[in-house]
Amino acid sequence: MNCPRCHKPMRPETLDGHMGRDVNIELCPPCQSIWFDAHEHLQLTPGSTLATFRIIGENVTRPAPQDRDIARCPRCNGQLRRTQDLQRNTKFEYFKCPNDHGRLITFFDFLKEKDFIKPLTPHQIAELRKNIQTINCSNCGAPIDLARRSDCGHCGSPLSMLDVNQAEKLVGQLKDAESYRSSRTIDPALPLALARARREVEAAFVGVPDPNQWQHDLSIGLVGAGLTLLMRLIKKD
């Protein structure tokens, strides 16, 4: 299947769904987007959500600002409709087929929907401004002038960081799930790796990283940098 946004071939992934069914999704790393057929996003088990989190972490790059409003459904060619939703107190958006064939969501908004992202506090923003003048938006890749604002002038996304605590919560759910023992998608070492990585990831961003040491990672935004760090820590195991 070709990506509804950039028309490049998407990569299929098969994940575990509820009631023993398979959930097939399509990923486009260049666009940092995921396509779900109708209602399949609701079928993801906690293990599959965690597996998707890891897939995103292994493929995260700096997103390029694009006009997603012109994207069309790969099933019926209908123009996808921008849809906004709320997960607890977190706003996220996706693009839905008018004929209910599926939806397109960015990596960033998928992480927001699953509570993997939290906004920076005023104190964290103040600390960030001491060391860094400009940072790229984690959602669209546009530069944010920290001296003037704390959100993206292009897409409106606030400065945010990775919340590894949510990944640990999912691990807890997995331990209580029968599917955990037979999961095809979760590395058995991941729960311990996440537990060890949490403090290191949060320490890196609460204290704000050295801009010289983290210049490359910060080019993909704070969320992308957090994912990159987490994946490096996991792969050490």
pLDDT at 211 over 50: no
The domains of the chain are located at 11-113, 117-235
DSSP letter, residue 151: B
One DSSP character per residue, 48-72 reads HHHHHHHHHHHH--------GGG-B
Please give the pLDDT value at position 201: 53
140 closest CA partner among 157, 115, 125: 157
- Give the 3-state secondary structure of residue 136: strand
- 216: pLDDT strictly greater than 60: no
Cβ(16)–Cβ(22) below 8 Å: yes
For 220, other C-beta atoms within 10 Å of its C-beta total 22
Summarize the confidence of residues 70-75 as an average pLDDT.
Answer: 89
Q: Which tens digit of pLDDT belongs to each residue from 163-192? A: 877 777 766 666 555 454 455 555 666 666
Distance CA 112, CA 92 (A): 6
pLDDT tens-digit profile of 18-39?
A: 877 889 999 999 889 999 998 8
Quick one: what percent of the chain has pLDDT higher than 90?
27
Tokens 């029968």 locate to 178
Digit-coded pLDDT (tens) for 93-129: 999 999 999 999 999 999 999 888 888 889 888 888 8
Match 């949060």 to its residue by tokens.
Answer: 202
In the prediction, which pLDDT does 91 show?
A: 86
The pLDDT confidence band at residue 209, using thresholds 50, 70 and 90, is very low
pLDDT reported for residue 173:
66
Partners of 214 in the beta sheet? none
Residue 105 phi/psi, 5-degree rounding, is: -135, 140
- Unique residue bearing structure tokens 């939290």: 118
**pLDDT confidence of 45, banded at 50, 70, 90?**
confident
Q: How confident is the model at residue 234 (pLDDT cuts 50, 70, 90)?
A: low
Cβ contacts of 162 within 8 Å, gap of 6 or more = 111, 116, 117, 201, 205, 222, 223, 226, 227, 230
Tell me: pLDDT of 66 over 90. Answer: no
Q: Higher pLDDT residue, 233 or 75?
A: 75
**Of 74, 121, 65, nearest in space to 95 by CA:** 74
Mean pLDDT of 69-88: 88
